[in-house]
Amino acid sequence: MAPALRGLIVVLALAGCERLPDREPLTGGDPKHGRSLIREFGCGSCHRISGVPGANASVAPPLEKLKSRVYLAGRFANTPQNLVAWIHDPRAMDSQTAMPAVGVDEQQARDIAAYLYTR
Ligand code: HEC
């Protein structure tokens, strides 16, 4: 194979797999696992989430720049603990929210929160 072509293939392969840390410091969760859980639980059917193929709905707010936000869902302090609790069971925090609990357990919520804090 021509070296130029081989170089191009390497570049394309790298572009497709974004590097994520093994541990995200705020949550202690695993962002790579979080990203696959986001797909598994269908968060992208309501939210736009960068780096997750197919997660481009606009039913709910886009989940971007969460790390720099002051509030979650407009009313809770944006702490790692609140983010994990929200993902685990939003209606336990606010019985009126339109976001349903989708069956994410606490460890899974931690990994998902870890991914969201990398956005
Ligand atoms: C059926 C649609 C739906 C699904 C599925 C859904 N959400 Fe939500 N989500 C919402 C809505 C609506 C809100 C806004 C809630 C509010 O402000 O009361 C929300 C809010 C949020 C927020 C707070 C956003 C902000 O801007 O402060 C986070 C974080 C979040 N969702 C994460 C997730 C994750 C992670 C999943 C998958 C495990 C998920 N959501 C699945 C509808 C959904």
Q: The domain spanning residue 53 has which CATH number?
A: 2.60.40.420
9-58 pLDDT, tens digit per residue, is 666 555 556 789 999 999 999 999 999 999 999 999 999 999 999 999 99
At 56, give phi and psi (nearest 5°): -140, 30
Query: Quick check: 115 and 64 in contact, CB under 8 A?
Result: no
Ligand 1 midpoint to CA 60 (Å): 6
> Which residue range forms the structural domain that includes residue 71?
31-116
Residue 79: inside a domain, yes or no? yes
How many folded domains does the chain comprise?
1
Residue 13: inside a domain, yes or no? no
Work out the percent of the chain whose per-residue pLDDT is above 70: 90
Residue nearest to atom 24 of ligand 1 (CA): 73
Atom of ligand 1 nearest to the CA of 71: 27
Ligand 1 midpoint to CA 44 (Å): 9
Token pair listed for 8: 């191009």
- CA distances, 17 to each of 48, 53, 89 (Å): 19, 12, 31
Residue 83: inside a domain, yes or no? yes
Residue nearest to atom 43 of ligand 1 (CA): 99
